[in-house]
Amino acid sequence: AKLWSVYMTEATPYDKALMESWTEDMNGILIFAGLFSAVVTTFIIESYGGLMPDPNATTVALLQQISLQLASNAVQNPTLTLEPFSPTSSALRVNAFWILSLCLALTCALAATLVQQWVRHYTQAIQRRPAPHLQARMRRYLFKGMEKFKMSAVVEGIPTLLHASVCLFFAGLVDFLYQTNLLIAMVALSIIAACGGLYFFMTILPVFHRQSPFRTPLSE
């Protein structure tokens, strides 16, 4: 019994620090993913109209034909002929980038919620056992399961997906601005490229300097 008590005395602080670290990381991801999803949704609402025909186009075309008939004193009914609507390639790309970005952000939020549930289950499953030896056995059983199914890799992969979501949003933003104003698009592209270069630098820096505090999820 004393051995199990010593085991739990050593394991409990480690588990507490690990679970708190995961919980805090997931809280940050939930906040960022929620705010980011709201921003992306706003842009999608703005750009989604490019995928559908303009509802006013039919009315405008009909009025034009009526005006031409009145001008030529024609008596026949106007025949409305409109070309089939086809969205531009830019509209397709922009909406694809932003919809994928939104899907990844929401997936990260869902994954963060699941991780928080797994953390609570892990902690409560151990604490519910009344005796130290039962807690120790349950802790070892669950911890081996986390190692077997690579839970740490799953937790560390969630920020990577969120970063990919941000990259997709930036790609769509540059494409969207390029069709609107070339100067603004170039300014945005230069800023995004600078941030991307800094991100890449922080990713590879730990490879050459292990003491570097600057790293990204891709550095591991």
CB 49 within 8 A of CB 91: no
Q: Which position has the higher pLDDT, 181 or 54?
A: 181
For 128-162, the pLDDT digits (tens) are: 988 888 999 999 999 999 999 999 999 999 999 99
Q: Buried b vs exposed e over 28-49: b needs ≥16 C-beta within 10 Å?
A: ebbebbeebbeebeebbeebee
Residue 78 has pLDDT above 60, yes or no: no
CB 36 within 8 A of CB 165: yes
214 inside domain: no
CB 115 within 8 A of CB 155: yes
pTM exceeds 0.85, yes or no: no
219 inside domain: no
| The total number of structural domains that make up the chain | 1
CA nearest to 8, candidates 128, 136, 112, 99: 136
Q: Which domain holds residue 26?
A: 1-180
197 inside domain: no
Residue 62: what pLDDT?
64
171 inside domain: yes
215 inside domain: no
pLDDT bucket at 214, cuts 50 / 70 / 90: confident
Tokens of 28: 């940050």
Give Cβ neighbours of residue 220 (< 8 Å, ≥ 6 apart).
156
Residue 20 has pLDDT above 60, yes or no: yes
Tokens of 209: 């300097």
φ and ψ at 213, to 5 degrees?
-80, -10
192 inside domain: no
In terms of Cβ atoms closer than 10 Å to its own Cβ (0-12, 13-18, 19+), residue 175 is buried
For 35-66, the pLDDT digits (tens) are: 999 999 999 998 888 877 666 666 665 666 66
pLDDT bucket at 165, cuts 50 / 70 / 90: very high
Average pLDDT on 92-109 reads 96
11 inside domain: yes
Residue 112 has pLDDT above 70, yes or no: yes
151 inside domain: yes
